[in-house]
Structure 1
Amino acid sequence: MTRTLLLFGDSNTHGTMPVASLGDQGRYGPGERWPGRLRALLPDWEVIAEGHPGRTTLHDDPIEGAHRNGLRVLPALLESHRPVDAVVVMLGTNDLKDRFSVNADDIALSLERLVGVIRTSGAGPGGAAPGVLLIAPPPVLEVGVLAGMFRGGAAKSQVLGARIAEMAQRIGVPWLDAGAMVRVSPIDGVHYGPEANPVLAEAVAAAVRRHFAPA
């Protein structure tokens, strides 16, 4: 029986390429993106990629729009795709933007709130709770055209993975540290180069098999 895996993320789940100038909208092809590669690795799953560039955990973006608030859209996505067996959440990078003025502890707590929404959604099979896998995004660099936007974010991002790990262990959710596997591009310091996609897909596939094996 095919099960459903929802990938809830930002531009790096969307497949956005590193940007050399503001306004660039390059996107990897469907088979190049890590979600597309994940589909090929998990043939017994329906893999649904819900990656939105600029998505935050729970902040209304005063410049790019309130619709980038992950907390606002998550309940609708869970309902529209149900039954959802498991949700992979990889967010937090956009929370590092200077405009939000939050630290790594706040970002981890924001992710915990999203986990709570998933666990109480009743969007799993038979009204159960979907499983959750958290992915801590890799640290950002303050380089290129996004450097000013992410001013101060590089230092925060260096401890974000540890804060997410602590939170995940406390609430009993499996997690991956993407920063141990992939690096952001030196072009813009936020997005992934093409070499990261297969690495991340393999790691997520292994984690899904390990944590969400059929009963």
Structure 2
Amino acid sequence: MKQILCYGDSNTWGYMGSDLKRYPWDIRWTGRVQERLGDKWRVIEEGLCSRTAAVEDRVQPYRSGLEYIVPCLMSHHPLEMIIVMLGTNDTKRRYHLSPEEIGMEMEELLRRIKETLYWLESRHTKILLAAPARLREPVLANGEIDGTSAEKLKKLPAVYKEIAGQYGAAFMDAGRYVQDFQPDGIHFSEAGHQQFAEAVLKRMKAI
């Protein structure tokens, strides 16, 4: 059985936008991908609300994608593919990061993934880096993700695409496909999960 690791934030976890409610497995994009791929594949969902690419946050600890990635890869080995979609939370106002600085974080995450795959003798594993979807207006200003974040996210695809090329990863821009969001303008609606699942499946065939 081939395994795919989906490493992301609340849009991979399936956050419904209130009180930590979560979409059912068959609604989340990961579950939809699993359904289409069938029994010969296993989709491993590693989504965490507020996860960043590399920021260590004392207010919300244990959210750094960089710090968790090594044990995650080791526990789920072997993997046919790793899909990484992070960056939205890195745009929070209190982190004061530019798109280029977020790109540097993602570069470090990809470097650690490649190093770990080398140690695991799993150099065949494919990596798909997805730039997160853009925010939809009106974004509910909560002091963290707001209009400033939206401007940063518009610039991330170009930054991520260049980094993906440097590390031999495939690239896709979720913002080209996900058009439907919950009222907060941040999290995928049911339709948004379907849109992203279809885009991922199409991109996988081309890798």
Asked if these proteins are the same fold (TM beyond 0.5), I'd say yes
Aligned to 2:93: 98
Per-residue CA shift, 1:22-74, capped at 9, x if unaligned? Answer: xx212111100000000011122111000000000011123211x01111110
- Residues of 2 paired with 1:127 and 1:38: CA distance? 27
Aligned to 1:11: 10
Q: Which region of structure 1 is more displaced relative to structure 2, 147-156 or 195-204? A: 147-156
Aligned to 1:202: 198
Aligned to 1:127: 121
Secondary structure, counterpart of 2:165 in structure 1: helix
Displacement of 1:186 in angstroms is 5.7
- Residues of 2 paired with 1:146 and 1:25: CA distance? 18
Q: Is the 8 A contact 1:57 1:69 kept in 2?
A: yes
Displacement of 1:120 in angstroms is 1.3
Structure 2: 5+ residue runs without aligned partners? none
Aligned to 1:156: 152
Match for 2:15: what amino acid? T
Match for 1:9: what amino acid? G
The root-mean-square deviation of aligned C-alpha atoms, in Å, is 1.9
Secondary structure, counterpart of 2:116 in structure 1: coil
Per-residue CA shift, 1:88-110, capped at 9, x if unaligned? Answer: 00000000101111111111221
Q: Is the 8 A contact 2:110 2:167 kept in 1?
A: no
- Picking from 178, 187, 201, the partner of 2:183 is 187
Matched, 1:88 2:87: no
- Residues of 1 paired with 2:161 and 2:137: CA distance? 24
Q: Is the 8 A contact 2:131 2:173 kept in 1?
A: yes
Match for 1:3: what amino acid? K
Structure 1: 5+ residue runs without aligned partners? none
Q: Displaced runs of 4+ in structure 1, greater than 6 A?
A: none
Aligned to 1:32: 27
Q: How does 1:67-86 map to 2 (within 5 A)?
A: 67-86=62-81
User: How many residues are aligned here?
Assistant: 204
Identity among equivalent pairs (%): 33
Q: Is the 8 A contact 2:51 2:89 kept in 1?
A: yes
Match for 2:117: what amino acid? G
Aligned to 1:176: 172
- Residues of 2 paired with 1:148 and 1:92: CA distance? 17
Q: TM-score, normalised by structure 2?
A: 0.91
